[in-house]
Structure 1
Amino acid sequence: MDRQPMDLAGYREHALHGPCFICRLVAGDPAYAHEIVYENAEHLAFLDKWPVLAGKLLVVPKRHLEHAVTDLTEPEYLALMATVRLVALAAEDVLGGERTYLFSLGSQAGNSHLHWHVARLPHGVPYEQQQFEALAFGNGVLAYTPAERSALADRLRRAVAARVAAAD
């Protein structure tokens, strides 16, 4: 898949001075729409608009929380991590690859809404291009067409639904 340059200055400006994009997404603001692949009463999972790896997802609590440890009770934390795991397993079903990266980023200065990244490292990526290098915006982001993004989201939704059904 083709890559396009990431507008790092624009991204930084929006992260520092724009509204919380996750809260806008949860509120249903069409300007912040993403391809949602899973939703329950407390959490949302959706395709990243700027994926550095194919099928990169974000998993978020719907409630605006900022700290991955102290803003959640232990049961809330475990429920969020169960959702992260569910989505990561579905991503493995759909995308294959050799490793799933799970990480939470953000800052009090910008992108403060708690979010977990789920990123599949494809097979065959040389070691020097893995880990931090594979996640770097400086390498550009994947350029999905709307149809490609929608088709991928559909495959991920079906994989998540199959896992939920199997667990019931």
Structure 2
Amino acid sequence: MPLDEPGARVPLDLAAYERRVRSGPCFICAFLDGEPGYEHELLYDDGAHAAFLSRYPTLPGYTLVVPREHVEDVIRDLTPEAYLRLQAVVHKVARAVGEVLQPERTYVLSLGSMQGNAHVHWHVAPLPPGVPYERQQYHALMAEHGVLPQTPQQRTDLATRIRAALAAG
């Protein structure tokens, strides 16, 4: 089903999401520490960086790439060398995601806020071919327009394909 068709996305309880990220633990650290309720599909882990599928994807294969160390400012908290190592992982993961999903465009950006989701993380968001222009770019990324429903099996299957592309790449 194309992303712009009715029913392709389901609403996300944005108020509950905001409460969780603003008052709960760092979701990235909680995930990496194995805390219940913060599970994600791990795609990549080199001991210094990790990548995993978003729990609330607005695009198929939406992936987050993070330093394992809790850092909150991409400029102040990372040396130039650490920043470039992180970018190399972002590139590697984005290429594998792209190989699996064949997007029209891959958006790569860092989002977050010191008020919630403060852990530095990069978004790898593959835009499927055929999305109308007015639903691309930030529109495609915004959870306010809903998230893609997915079963645990669908997440696992996609993660398996991306992990295989990473291993082959």
TM-score, with length taken from structure 2: 0.94
The match for 2:81 is 75
Query: Out of 8, 16, 20, which is 1:14 matched to?
Result: 20
Matches within 5 A, 1:51-130: 51-130=57-136
The match for 1:152 is 158
Q: Comparing 23-32 with 73-82, which one deviates more in the overlay?
A: 23-32
Find the aligned partners of 2:142 and 2:83 in 1 and give their Cα distance: 27
Off by >6 Å, runs of 4+ in structure 1: none
The match for 1:37 is 43
Which runs of 5 or more residues in structure 2 are unaligned?
2-7
Shift in Å, 1:28 = 1.6
Find the aligned partners of 1:24 and 1:15 in 2 and give their Cα distance: 11
How many residues align structurally?
A: 163
Shift in Å, 1:25 = 1.1
Output the amino acid matched with 2:163: R
Find the aligned partners of 1:12 and 1:148 in 2 and give their Cα distance: 26
Shift in Å, 1:102 = 0.5
**Identity, % of aligned pairs?**
52
TM-score, with length taken from structure 1: 0.94
Shift in Å, 1:30 = 2.9
Find the aligned partners of 2:103 and 2:33 in 1 and give their Cα distance: 34
Deviations 1:20-67 (A, max 9, x none): 011111112132111001000100100000000000000000100001
Which runs of 5 or more residues in structure 1 are unaligned?
164-168
